[in-house]
Amino acid sequence: MNRFSHAVESFAALDLNVEEALEQLAAIPFSIPCWQFDDVAGLEAPDSSLEGGGIAATGNYPGKPRNGDELRQDISLAMRLTPGAKRLNLHACYAERDDSSSDRDAYTADFFRNWMDWSRQEEVALDFNPSCFNHPMADSGFTYASADPAVQEFWINHAVACRHIAAAFADNQNGPCTVNHWVPDGMKDQPADRLGPRLRLQDALNRILDAAPQDERVEDAVECKLFGIGSESYVVGSHEFYLGYAIRRQMLLCLDAGHFHPTETLGDKISATLLHLPGLLLHLSRGVRWDSDHVVTLDDPTRLVMEEIVRGGYLGHIRFGLDYFDASINRIAAAVLGVRSAKKALLLALLQPNSQLKELEAKGDFTARLCLMEQARLLPFGEVWEEFCRRQNCPGEGEWLQEVKDYEQAEFGKREA
Ligand code: RNT
Ligand code: ZN
Side-chain-side CA neighbours of residue 226 (13 Å): 14
Q: Tell me what the mean pLDDT of segment 380-391 comes to.
A: 98
d(CA 34, CA 94) in angstroms, rounded, equals: 9
Residue nearest to atom 1 of ligand 1 (CA): 55
Residue 175 lies in a domain: yes
Q: If you measure from the C-alpha of residue 323 to the centroid of ligand 1, how many angstroms do you get, rounded to a whole number?
A: 7
pLDDT for residue 164 is more than 80: yes
Q: If you measure from the C-alpha of residue 33 to the centroid of ligand 2, how many angstroms do you get, rounded to a whole number?
A: 10
pLDDT for residue 46 is more than 90: no
Q: If you measure from the C-alpha of residue 133 to the centroid of ligand 1, how many angstroms do you get, rounded to a whole number?
A: 10
Residue 77 lies in a domain: yes
Protein residues placing their CB within 5 Å of the ion ligand 2 = 256, 283, 323
Per the CB < 8 A criterion, the answer to whether 279 and 270 are in contact is no
Please choose, from the candidates 13, 71, 9, 14, the residue with its C-alpha nearest in 3D space to the C-alpha of residue 40: 71
Instruction: Find the largest Cα–Cα distance for the chain.
Output: 70
Predicted TM-score (pTM) of this structure: 0.97
Residue 359 lies in a domain: no
Q: Give the burial string for 203-231 (b: 16+ CB within 10 Å, else e).
A: ebbebbbeeeeeeebbbbbbbbbbbbeeb
Per the CB < 8 A criterion, the answer to whether 84 and 388 are in contact is yes
The binding-site residues of ligand 1, defined as CB within 6 angstroms of any ligand atom, are 35, 40, 55, 129, 182, 223, 225, 256, 283, 291, 323
Annotated catalytic, 6? no
Residue 374 lies in a domain: no
Residue nearest to atom 11 of ligand 1 (CA): 182
Residue nearest to atom 5 of ligand 1 (CA): 323
pLDDT for residue 52 is more than 90: no
Using one digit for the tens of pLDDT, what is the confidence trace for 403-412?
999 999 999 9
- The pLDDT score that the predictor gives to residue 225 is 98
The mean-pLDDT minimum among 47-51, 72-76, 180-184 falls in 47-51
Annotated catalytic, 182? yes
Residue 187 lies in a domain: yes
For the chain, the domain total comes to: 1
Residue nearest to atom 7 of ligand 1 (CA): 55
Q: If you measure from the C-alpha of residue 167 to the centroid of ligand 2, how many angstroms do you get, rounded to a whole number?
A: 22
- The pLDDT score that the predictor gives to residue 51 is 85
CB atoms within 10 A of CB 148: 11
Q: Tell me what the mean pLDDT of segment 323-339 comes to.
A: 98
Could you tell me the CATH number of the domain that includes residue 320? 3.20.20.150
Q: If you measure from the C-alpha of residue 265 to the centroid of ligand 1, how many angstroms do you get, rounded to a whole number?
A: 18
Residue 10 lies in a domain: no
**Residue 236 CB-density burial (10 A; 0-12 exposed, 13-18 middle, 19+ buried):** buried
Using DSSP, state whether 200 is helix, strand or coil. helix
Sorted by sequence, the CB contacts under 8 Å of residue 206 that are 6+ apart come out as none
Percent of the chain with pLDDT over 70: 100
> Domain residues for 68?
29-350
Q: What is the mean pLDDT of the chain?
A: 97
Residue 390 lies in a domain: no
d(CA 135, CA 242) in angstroms, rounded, equals: 24
Annotated catalytic, 223? yes
pLDDT for residue 235 is more than 80: yes
Residue nearest to atom 2 of ligand 1 (CA): 182
pLDDT for residue 416 is more than 90: no
pLDDT for residue 99 is more than 80: no
d(CA 165, CA 112) in angstroms, rounded, equals: 8
Residue 34 lies in a domain: yes
Using one digit for the tens of pLDDT, what is the confidence trace for 272-298?
999 999 999 999 999 999 999 999 999
Annotated catalytic, 291? yes
Mutate to test the pocket of ligand 1, among 90, 223, 226 (most ligand atoms within 8 A of CB): 223
Mutate to test the pocket of ligand 1, among 127, 224, 323, 324 (most ligand atoms within 8 A of CB): 323
